[in-house]
Structures are given as C-alpha cells and as structure tokens.
Amino acid sequence: MAKTAAVQHMRENEAIPDIDIYCGTATPEMARIVAERLGRPLGRREVDHFADGECHVQIQESVRGRDIYIVQSTCPPVNEHLMELLVMIDAFRRASANRITVIMPYYGYSRQEKKSTGREPITAKLVANLLTIAGANRVVAIDLHSPAIQGFFDIEMIHLTAISLLANHLRTHIDVHDAVLVTPDTGRVKVAEMYANLLNVPLVVMHKRRSGERGEGVEVGVVVGSVEGKHPIIVDDIIATGNTIITCAKTLLDAGAVPNMTVVLTHGVFSPAAEERLAMPEITQIVLTDTIPFHTPSLQQKTAVLSVAPLLSEAILRLHHGRSISELFRNMPEEFPV
C-alpha cells in the first residue's frame, strides 16, 4: 500500500506533458502564473480582429488529442471577452483537441440568473448554453453569484470558492477582536456564515431593497444584529457600481459602527462610479481577488489583491489526475458544494 501511494505521489509531481494552458486577452497574467505553477509553457495563439470588429483566433501549435485548459474571465468588456472565448473553444474543437476545459474565474452575466420582472431573459443560462454548444467539455468558475447556475449546465461544472483565501488574509492582517461580519444581502447569508465561522466573529444581516429600472438603486430596510462600537467587515461577491456597499456603510455608521470598515469581495468589476464611492475614508481597507484584473489606481493604497492562480493550478492538477476537488476546501466550516 505504501509503495503504491509513493508511486502515485511521484507520478503526480512529474511534468504534465499532455495538458496545455491557453488564455484569451482578459487575464493573460493569471494564465501565465497558472501555467508556470504547472511547469508548462503558455500555449501560443493569435487573437486579432477584422476591420469590422469580428474576432479571429488562430491556434499556433498542434492540439490534436491534447487536454486543453482555457483561462479567460468574462470581465469588462464582457461581450468582447465572452465572444473571444467562444471563438477559441470552437478553434480547439475543430483542431481535434481531446478535451476542452474552460477556466472562467469570473462568470459574466451571472447576475441575470433569474427573472426579476416580466419579459426578462435568464442570460446566465444562455451563456451556459453558448459554452456547451461551442464545444466546451467542462467549465470551472469561482464564487458564482448564485450556486444555482451550476444547474444551468448539461456538461460538467466545477464551482470553486475563494472564501478560505480571503478569510485567511483577514485573519492575519486585521484585528478581528471587535469585528462583526456584515452581509448586505439576505440571499447570501449562507456564504456570510462561512466567513463568520472561519473568523469566529458575530454575523450581522442587512435587508436591502432594490429600486430603479435595472435594480441599481439600493435602500437598506433592517439591520439584524448589533454593530455599535464594532469594526464592520462587509462581504459580497461582486462590486460593480458600489451602490450596495456605500448604502450599507452609511447605515452601519448611523447605527454606531466604528468608521474603520473593511470591504471583502471576490470579483471587482468596479465601474467609475464604484471607484468614487469606495474612496470614502470610512472604508479603510478593500480585499479582493484577481479574477478580474485590478485597474483602479485611486484605490490602490487601501486595496489588497489576492491571486487565485494557486487555487486554479491545484484544481487543474486534480482534475487531470481524477482527484477530489472537494478536498481543496476541507478546512471550511461546512462542506462547500463543488
């Protein structure tokens, strides 16, 4: 038994000659680090555009029979990066790749996962269909806006989380003695509980109501839990306009919270409006991942960007060798539904 385990360990730590890592133009630095950690060169491809804006991709090496991993977040400009990804998948499929795995750290259109009013699309499902029809065999994403999106796929869908990564950073870089974990959305209480349990801090839940044509306006109705004299750690998965965070921050201050707040998120979409709102001095620290490249110089001094490349490279290694992905999250206070 010991000999078998030793042989398996040796094989898993050898170079992996039959997988190739490629990327689009959305997250090339992340892809480079992932490939480097796996001991593989980043695959050569050319992405350009015709005069009318059509995307063109050419794979510049043979991929017949290969195990292909495409690293591409569908971050802004979302439509451009999504179309680029679909064209790349089609190119690999027509070049007879053995298996195509899409590594999509940020799943664009994930906030359109249900109909909020009549005559609306469910675009998160449409994106799942497009990836499948293009020829993807498997999709890997990090912290989906709604875990139910996993059910939109008729191919294998692997859902990873950066909660442990973010919580570990908080534990080692801030004093959680007088902290409270705040979720601005009742729909994300389960995720907030994971953070609260990992940090061993109380949980405060805020009930928000959305207003406006596309629900971009935010009003906070009820704060469940005490924040007086406490240091709030506000957690969310995506920040786009910053409306939710800034409204919650002002409500917490009115309720007696200390004007020393930490905002934690996975995906920093950060529109210009969000950049301005998050600059409020009461928000002293922002912690996020690099699922979307961080290009916000005005917030750089108070922002910590954590790399998800180690998580992705380990997931790729485990997928390639047919090993458990759930083991990556064995330190979570409860099982994460990979």
State the catalytic residues. Answer: 208
Distance CA 92, CA 141 (A): 20
Distance CA 124, CA 7 (A): 43
CA atoms within a 13 Å half-sphere pointing along the CA-CB vector of 196: 18
Sheet with strand 138-142: strands edge to edge:
19-23, 67-71, 99-104, 138-142, 156-160
Side chain identity, residue 249? A
* 220-225, long-range: CB < 8 A, 24+ apart: 220/184, 220/247, 220/248, 220/251, 223/251, 223/252, 223/255, 225/180
C-alpha–C-alpha distance, residues 187 and 323, integer Å: 32
DSSP state string for 190-241: HHHHHHHHHHT--EEEEEEEEESTTS-EEEEEEEES--TT-EEEEE-SEESS
| Residue 308 CA neighbour count, 13 Å, CB half | 31
Q: Confirm if 130 and 155 have CB atoms less than 8 A apart.
A: no
